[in-house]
Amino acid sequence: MKDCVFCCIVAGTAPATKVYEDDTLCAFLDIRPIARGHTLIIPKAHATELEDLDADTGAHIFRAGHRLALAMRRSTLAADGANLIMNDGKAAFQTVAHVHLHVIPRRNGDKLSFAKGFLLRRPHDLEGTATAIRAGIAALATEDNDHVEGTQA
C-alpha cells in the first residue's frame, strides 16, 4: 500500500533502524519509543487490522515478539521483562493502519520512567540500541545451538 509508512519501510523507501527481518516480517525500532529498545514487528504483506491477517502470519509475529523479548534480556539492555502489545483498530488506539506488535523492554522498578516514556516518547541511541538487540538475538542463536548439541551428545 503506497501511503502506508510501514509498507514504505518494507519497500526500503522510508527509513527505519531494523533489528530483524525474514521473508514474512520486519522488526525495527519505534521512532517514538516508550523505553529504550521499543521495537515494532510488522508483517511485510499489508494487513490493516487483525481481521486482515492470516493466523499463521499472526503466530509468526508473536513468536518473533517472544524471541525479541528474550533477546532484550540477553542484550546490554538488560531487560527484566517485556510488554508485548498489539492495538487492533482505531478503537484500541492503533495509530498506524498496518498490523504491528510492540515489544517494549521493562526493568524491575521502572514504573516512573515507563510512565514518563509515554509522555516524552523520544528516541534513544538508535544504532547502539539496534546493535544491542542484534547481539541479544545472536546470543539466543548460540544458546539454541548449544542446546541442540547438548541433546545430541
Catalytically annotated residues? 100
The answer to whether the Cα torsion of 67, 62, 53, 46 is positive or negative is negative
Residue 101's nearest CA partner among 55, 40, 31 is 40
Of how many residues is the chain composed?
A: 153
Question: Rounded distance, CA 132 to CA 139, Å?
Answer: 10
Strand order in the sheet with 81-85: 18-21, 25-29, 39-43, 101-106, 81-85
Residues 45 and 137 sit within 8 Å (Cβ to Cβ): no
